[in-house]
């Protein structure tokens, strides 16, 4: 198997996928921005994300942890191979709401202070783009998306780790909006 050629083709497929889906992805992010649901109440945001994953052929599982109804996984497999996971967050903070405008217009409602609307959709986009490349190139492996609610003060990942939700993965990729670009190995 020519891994260099597969990598080059995969990069091209991923870039083409993102170019084709750019507007649609922005719309999904804007939808979660508008929902602005606070910790443990992200039902509509989860519905939006899980509907998309289901339409894209992922197996969605909810109700992973008692009392954490807005945590979920979405999984797609293309046969034997590594299990690569992505983490998405989608919760908002109370009193941080702003209208979408070219200048600050506070609403007094909940809002996405650190970009979890981008984080949830961006990680979903990475999983969907990877699926497209893997399916097109016949690359084996499994993709998983972990929907992690209540990250703003709810510590949902702690409960997910405690209950073994993250077991069985070979690599986990995550990102978070920030004022700098860097790679963290933590």
**Which pLDDT value is given to residue 14?**
96
- pLDDT reading at 175 higher than 90: no
Q: How do residues 118-137 score in pLDDT, each as one tens digit? A: 999 999 999 999 999 999 99
Q: Domain total for the chain?
A: 1
CATH number of the domain at 169, please. Answer: 3.40.630.10
Q: Is residue 182 part of a domain?
A: no
Radius of gyration of the chain from Cα atoms? 17
Asked if 15 and 138 count as a contact pair (C-beta separation under 8 A), the reply is no
129: its two tokens: 């783009």
Q: Is residue 157 part of a domain?
A: yes
**Which pLDDT value is given to residue 115?**
85
Quote the domain boundaries for residue 71: 3-173
Q: Is residue 180 part of a domain?
A: no
Single pTM value for the model: 0.92
Q: How do residues 149-162 score in pLDDT, each as one tens digit? A: 998 888 888 999 99
Question: Residue 38 — φ and ψ, nearest 5°?
Answer: -80, 170
Q: How do residues 57-72 score in pLDDT, each as one tens digit? A: 999 999 888 888 999 9
- pLDDT reading at 92 higher than 90: yes
- pLDDT reading at 16 higher than 90: yes
Asked if 111 and 98 count as a contact pair (C-beta separation under 8 A), the reply is yes
Q: How do residues 29-55 score in pLDDT, each as one tens digit? A: 999 999 999 999 999 999 999 999 999
Torsion of CA 89, 93, 96, 102, to 10 degrees: 10
Q: Is residue 185 part of a domain?
A: no
């Amino acid at each position: 198997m020519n891994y260099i050629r597969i990598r080059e083709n995969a990069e091209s497929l991923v870039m083409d996928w993102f170019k084709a889906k750019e507007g649609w992805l922005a719309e999904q992010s804007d939808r979660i921005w508008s929902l602005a649901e606070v910790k443990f109440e992200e039902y509509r945001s989860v519905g939006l994300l899980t509907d998309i994953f289901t339409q894209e052929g992922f197996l969605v599982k909810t109700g992973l942890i008692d009392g954490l109804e807005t945590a979920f996984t979405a999984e797609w497999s293309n046969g034997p191979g590594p299990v690569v996971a992505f983490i998405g967050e989608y919760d908002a903070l109370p009193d941080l709401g702003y209208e979408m405008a070219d200048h600050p217009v506070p609403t007094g409602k909940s809002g996405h202070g650190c970009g979890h609307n981008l984080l949830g959709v961006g990680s979903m986009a990475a999983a969907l783009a990877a699926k497209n490349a893997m399916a097109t190139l016949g690359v084996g492996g499994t993709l998983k998306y972990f929907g992690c609610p209540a990250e703003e003060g709810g510590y949902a990942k702690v409960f997910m780790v405690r209950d073994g939700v993250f077991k069985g993965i070979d690599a986990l990729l995550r990102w978070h909006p920030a004022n700098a670009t860097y790679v963290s190995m933590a």
